[in-house]
Amino acid sequence: MENSFRPTSFKVCARTFNIKYVKDSCGLDAGDMGCSNYDLGEIIIRTRLDGRNLPEDAIMETLFHELQHVIFWAAGLSELATSEEVVSQTSNIALQVWSTLNG
């Protein structure tokens, strides 16, 4: 079985965000892999798509993507927080760094 890293909360700027992992589209718009709700302090991550479990690396990719939305939002950079291109590019790099940390 693959190792899974499923953090359930984090703090940013004195706010606690909860992370929920849901099957299929529960709480998500159809086709979305995840979403962030700043008002609720909540991230939702999809773990299944079309009736199949998603691989852990896809779940981590979604988690880092949603975290990046929150990071830009917390930094007051709302234009960046709402840019899917910027969020995807920076979160993919952050995940590469995280995945290859040594020591």
Indicate the SS3 state at residue 48.
Answer: strand
Nearest approach, Cβ of residue 103 and Zn ion (Å): 31
Indicate the SS3 state at residue 19.
Answer: strand
Residue closest to 87 by CA, chosen among 59, 62, 56? 62
Among 9-17, 41-49, 51-59, 76-84, the segment contacting Zn ion (CB under 5 A): 76-84
Looking at the Cβ atoms of 2 and 79, the one nearer to Zn ion is: 79
Nearest approach, Cβ of residue 73 and Zn ion (Å): 11
Nearest approach, Cβ of residue 72 and Zn ion (Å): 10
Length of the chain: 103
Beta bridge mates, 43: 19, 36
Q: Give the number of residues in contact with Zn ion, rule: CB under 5 A.
A: 1
Binding positions for Zn ion, rule: CB under 5 A: 84
